[in-house]
């Protein structure tokens, strides 16, 4: 093998090493993917969709009401929407959501999902915790019925994109 061939080969290996290292850093610290399991986020997210989520956003900002987040628990991860932040009072009355006594507009809910939302609360969200619900309120395991309040460090990212299936590609909202 000539010196020029060896040099080209080494350059090629360096480029691959840099690409792999960069991909590892991006996946570990910035972005990752998760698969939506079940119908609890219908109609916003469908069972089997793969979403890309932003892992660094909550190091520089706080989770906000309306964010669709990935919650990591020891047994499994969940995809839910933040409804109440620390210090909020959350109540569902007559199929309507109230946060701190104010009626919330929920454009992301279908009419059926809104009408299937049963009365709940009022509950006060403790400091350092969040109240989450799925968009398919009648079947969602969430802060009302099994997940309880979510610790801030259990929220590992905010969903940004649906990346699979390709015909569903787009921003999450």
Query: How far is the C-alpha of 23 from the C-alpha of 33, rounded, in Å?
Result: 13
- Strand, helix or coil for residue 10: helix
DSSP-H helix ranges across the chain? 3-25, 57-60, 111-115
**Residues forming beta bridges with residue 158, ordered by sequence position:** 54, 69
What does residue 53 show for φ and ψ, rounded to 5 degrees? -125, 150
- Quick one: what percent of the chain has pLDDT higher than 90? 42
For residue 88, what is the DSSP state?
A: -
Catalytic status, residue 40: yes
Cα–Cα distance for residue pair 103/97, rounded to 1 Å: 6
pLDDT: is 55 or 7 the higher one? 55
- Both tokens of residue 160? 């940004």
Q: Is the dihedral of CA 88, 92, 94, 97 positive or negative?
A: positive
What pLDDT does residue 15 have? 78
Q: What are the strands, taking DSSP E only, across 36-149? A: 50-54, 68-72, 77-84, 89-93, 96-99, 102-103, 120-124, 129-133
Task: Find the mean pLDDT for residues 21-31.
Answer: 64
Annotated catalytic residue, options 40, 129, 140, 143: 40
Whether residue 12 contacts residue 5, with contact meaning beta carbons closer than 8 Å, is answered with no
Residue 2 designated active-site? no
**Higher pLDDT, residue 125 or 22:** 125
Assign 145 to helix, strand or coil: coil
d(CA 124, CA 18): 49
Q: What is the pLDDT of residues 32-78, one digit of tens each?
A: 777 888 889 988 888 989 888 888 888 888 999 999 999 999 888 89
Choosing from 80, 129, 140, 143, the catalytic residue is: 80
pLDDT at 30: 67
Domains of the chain: 31-171 (2.10.109.10)
Q: Is 69 helix (H, G, I), strand (E, B) or coil?
A: strand
Closest CA to 173 of 158, 151, 152: 158
């Amino acid at each position: 093998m000539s010196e020029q061939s060896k040099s080209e080969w080494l350059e090629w290996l360096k480029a691959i090493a840099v690409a792999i290292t960069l991909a590892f850093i991006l996946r570990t610290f910035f972005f990752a993917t998760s698969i939506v399991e079940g119908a609890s986020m219908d109609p916003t997210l469908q069972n089997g969709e793969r979403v890309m989520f932003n892992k660094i956003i909550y190091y520089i900002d706080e989770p906000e009401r309306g964010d669709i987040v990935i919650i990591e628990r020891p047994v499994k991860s969940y995809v839910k929407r933040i409804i109440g932040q620390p210090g909020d009072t959350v109540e569902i009355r007559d199929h309507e959501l109230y946060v701190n006594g104010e009626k919330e507009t929920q454009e992301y809910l279908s009419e059926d999902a809104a009408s299937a939302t049963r009365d709940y609360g009022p509950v006060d969200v403790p400091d350092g915790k969040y109240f989450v619900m799925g968009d398919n309120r009648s079947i969602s395991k969430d802060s009302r019925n099994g997940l309880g309040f979510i610790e801030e460090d259990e929220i590992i990212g905010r969903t940004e994109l649906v990346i699979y299936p390709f015909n569903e590609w787009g921003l999450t909202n």
